[in-house]
Amino acid sequence: MVKKSIFYLGGFFLLVRLTGIILTLNLMPVQDPDMISKEEFIAIQKQFSIHYELGSFLIICSNFILVFFLLFLIYLFVSEKIKQS
């Protein structure tokens, strides 16, 4: 049961993260990105990506899922050590 929940939570993290990355990808090539300011680059990325705001939101949510996943793994590790001693 624990291995299944670890597998599903890790898979859910990867799914949300990859979906967010795909949604924020800039689908138009930018010539010489070093010459563009950061604000202009973000504006171009918002204009030519699939859904920039949703993708950014999903990436932020995946960070929270990752923190929850790591806390869950720490809890499992500590509870296993307590059971052994």
- pLDDT by residue (tens digit) across 2-34? 788 889 988 999 999 999 999 998 877 777 778
Q: Which two tokens stand for residue 28?
A: 């138009």
Q: Is 24 exposed, middle or buried (0-12, 13-18, 19+ CB in 10 A)?
A: buried
Give one word for 29, left, alpha or beta, with left for phi > 0 and alpha for psi -120 to 50: beta
Enter the pTM of the model: 0.80
Cα(28)–Cα(71) distance, rounded to whole angstroms?
Answer: 39
Question: Cα–Cα distance between 48 and 57 in angstroms, integer?
Answer: 17
Domain-wise residue ranges, the chain: 2-84
